[in-house]
Amino acid sequence: MLTRQLLKSAKALGLIALTAIVVTGASTPANAQVVQVSRADSRNLIGFNVGGFLPKGVDSRDPDDVLLANLNDLDFRIEDFNNWTFGGEWLYGFGKYFETGVGLTWNFTSLLVSPFPPSPWNGARVASVV
């Protein structure tokens, strides 16, 4: 019984080895030649990006940071500024080693905050956008 299992295992390993040899032998090496781009080819590039704006938390900020100073006067959390960003760019290559481009990235974060303590006008809290 044990010999039969050993023969099945050896047959399976032989089949795997034979498949690996055939696949490796049949593959061709990659073509690593550089192809020169002619002037007629386009030198424009358009790219898009997605990211995030994640400012440091309260613990890792400089003591003179403006957001920390505003935490005492305004009702908001630093985590409220966390947001997604997205954008795009257009690049144009000229010459062999130079390119120029224009890019735009958008991050829309606006917070409606109210001051501490309440304003002197009848104790109302006046909201402002940061």
Q: What is the mean pLDDT of residues 71-83?
A: 82
| Cα 97–Cα 101–Cα 105 angle in degrees, nearest 5 | 140
Here the tokens at position 67 are: 């957001």
| Amino acid, res. 27 | S
- Please tell me whether residue 93 adopts helix, strand or coil conformation: strand
Q: Residue 48: what pLDDT?
A: 92
Q: Residue 90: what pLDDT?
A: 92
Q: Is-contact 75 114, C-beta < 8 A?
A: yes
Most confident of 8-12, 46-50, 81-85, 95-99: 46-50
Q: Residue 74: what pLDDT?
A: 80
Q: Is the pTM of this model over 0.85?
A: no
| 3-state helix vs strand vs coil in the chain, percent to 5 | 30, 30, 40
